[in-house]
């Protein structure tokens, strides 16, 4: 087949700060997915985008073209209004686990397509796979049936959603273009828009354990994604949330499931509860449900009931014992005082090295491995008291995890700690 355009012309346009015409955007995404545009050519285009950016309408067209390479889920047969959440990833971020059943228990349907962890950030599917029998892969009909019967589904995205993104993401990973905000935004939003929810809430993490290290970059990403969702007809808002400190008191798969169950039982760490309730309120408001109290649904057991049905519907046993690592090791506080800093990235790397995460997509993870945080910033500690509890199936992993935690904490005098708000900002569509 004779191609209507050539990749070099598209590259030159963006290299020279131009706007790629719509027809050429449609063509280059489709041709790259088909293999008619070579990796080295798309690499050059991705670098030009990183350096020179994209106009809002140009990026919206790019995102639409990525969606068009695959299928769109048709949620018109779902009897409840559909609302979804996406997190840009962090350490101890188990929020999807209590959030999806909580929102479903209050009258919305949550079609949550999630991913696996890579590097220091954990993956929702890895956490749920710690539950005996639970399966991540559902057919489209199973997915839709569960949305109608339970109201919440957390599962793996099928290969049919935005296949261009899978190919382009792998390329960005090896060409130094992962950080391009237009490409991050279109990667996330092409899949989320293709999911077909009528409302979407974005949890954009900021800090050491997040992809975006500073508030300005996080806000730019949030604004870009909110604009893309809005342009596609999806009610989209974003919360900017702190990720300098891990969420909750655990990082690891089964450990985080246990903590999520505490939240669903009306307890759990205050920060996990706060963010779960904040995101639930945004998700529900996005589909017009504003006369409910998410905190009450955690306290009275409604959300737990939905959780149990959601897990059972995907083959899991909600009453089964969760895996426990074979080995434990305690790391002591180096001084007496108030914990003023607990670095999320260091904790994430430690959990990864203990076996909770993976360096490559094909690596296996340990369900029981991870880190328990025995103190959080603002709390008093005494020299020698346990600060971290490390869990691993192989005691040989402890040394490198301890190495990752070296320098992860600061301990100061009483009154030295200033609490950072968990929610740092909110981004809505520009009028």
As annotated, the active-site residues are 86, 165, 172, 187, 191
Q: DSSP of 204-230, one letter per residue?
A: EEESTTSSB-SHHHHHHHHHHHHHHHH
Tell me 258's DSSP state. H
Please name which of 168, 160, 109 lies closest in space to residue 138, comparing C-alpha atoms: 160
Residue with tokens 């050059």: 44
- Nearest CA-CA partner of 408 in 352, 366, 346: 346
DSSP letter for each residue of 287-336? TT--S--HHHHHHTSHHHHHHHHHHHHTT--TTSPPP--SEEEEEE-SSS
**Do residues 260 and 222 lie in contact, with contact meaning Cβ atoms separated by under 8 Å?**
no
DSSP single-letter state for residue 118: B
| Residue 194: other Cβ atoms inside 10 A | 23
Query: What's the count of helices (H) and strands (E) in the chain, helices before strands?
Result: 16, 13
Enter the tokens of residue 87.
Answer: 């997190």
Give me the phi and psi of 374, to 5 degrees please.
-90, -5
**Is the CB of residue 83 less than 8 Å from the CB of residue 200?**
yes
Half-sphere exposure (CA, 13 Å, Cβ side) for 258?
Answer: 17
d(CA 283, CA 200): 7
């Amino acid at each position: 087949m004779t191609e209507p355009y050539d990749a070099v012309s598209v590259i030159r346009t963006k290299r020279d700060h131009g706007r790629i015409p719509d027809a050429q955007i449609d063509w280059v995404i489709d041709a790259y997915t088909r293999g008619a545009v070579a990796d080295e050519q798309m690499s050059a285009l991705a670098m030009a985008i990183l350096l020179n950016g994209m106009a809002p309408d140009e990026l919206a067209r790019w995102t639409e073209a990525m969606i068009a390479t695959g299928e769109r889920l048709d949620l018109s047969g779902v009897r409840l209004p559909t609302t979804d959440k996406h997190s840009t990833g962090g350490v101890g971020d188990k929020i999807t686990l209590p959030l999806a059943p909580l929102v479903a228990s209050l009258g919305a349907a949550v079609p949550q397509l999630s991913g696996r962890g890579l590097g220091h950030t954990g993956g929702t599917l890895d956490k749920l796979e710690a539950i005996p029998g639970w399966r991540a892969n559902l057919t489209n009909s199973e997915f839709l049936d569960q949305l109608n019967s339970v109201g919440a589904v957390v599962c793996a995205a099928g290969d049919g959603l935005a296949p261009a993104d899978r190919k382009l993401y792998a390329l960005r990973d090896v060409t130094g273009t992962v950080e391009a905000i237009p490409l991050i935004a279109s990667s996330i939003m092409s899949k989320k828009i293709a999911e077909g929810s009528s409302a979407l809430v974005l949890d954009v993490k900021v800090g050491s354990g997040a992809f975006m290290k500073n508030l300005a970059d996080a806000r730019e990403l949030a604004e870009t994604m909110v604009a893309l969702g809005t342009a596609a007809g999806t009610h989209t808002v974003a919360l900017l949330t702190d990720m300098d400190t891990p969420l909750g008191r655990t990082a690891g798969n089964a450990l985080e499931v246990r903590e999520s169950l505490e939240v669903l039982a009306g307890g759990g760490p205050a920060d996990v509860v706060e963010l779960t309730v904040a995101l639930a309120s945004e998700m529900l408001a996005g589909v017009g449900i504003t006369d409910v109290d998410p905190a009450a649904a955690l306290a009275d057991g409604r959300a737990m009931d939905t959780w149990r049905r959601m897990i059972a519907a995907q083959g899991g046993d909600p009453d089964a014992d969760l895996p426990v690592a074979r080995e434990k090791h305690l790391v002591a506080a180096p001084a007496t005082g108030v914990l003023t800093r607990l670095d999320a990235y260091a904790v994430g790397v430690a959990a990864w090295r203990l076996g909770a995460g993976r360096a490559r997509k094909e690596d296996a993870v340990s369900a029981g491995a991870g880190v328990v945080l025995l103190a959080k910033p603002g709390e008093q500690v005494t020299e020698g008291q346990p600060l971290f509890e490390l869990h691993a199936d192989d005691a040989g992993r402890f040394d490198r995890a301890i190495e990752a935690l070296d320098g992860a904490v600061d301990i100061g005098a009483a009154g030295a700690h200033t609490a950072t708000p968990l929610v740092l900002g909110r981004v809505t569509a520009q009028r």
